[in-house]
Amino acid sequence: MEIYKKFSFDSAHYLPNVPEDHKCRRMHGHTFNVEIHIAGPVNKKIGWIMDFADKKNHL
């Protein structure tokens, strides 16, 4: 069995040690898209491979 979760997050940064005219010298951002897959045997006690709420502990 396999479960998965898709999410995205934004991050901003700048590079202070590059030349003044470098495009990354100023603050700029990126959007990251993530897709996590968790696969394994079904836990007979709960009927799933893991409690979906517990996946946050593994990210």
Mean pLDDT of the chain: 89
Q: What pTM, to 2 d.p., does this model score? A: 0.61
Alpha-carbon 1 to chain mean position? 21
Provide the pLDDT confidence category of residue 57 given band limits of 50, 70 and 90: low
**27, 29, 33, 35, 53 from 40: Cα distances, Å:** 42, 36, 24, 17, 16
CATH code of 2-58, in short, is 3.30.479.10
User: Buried (b) or exposed (e) across 49-58, using 16+ Cβ within 10 A?
Assistant: bbeeeeeeee
- pLDDT tens per residue, range 19-43: 999 989 999 999 999 998 989 999 9
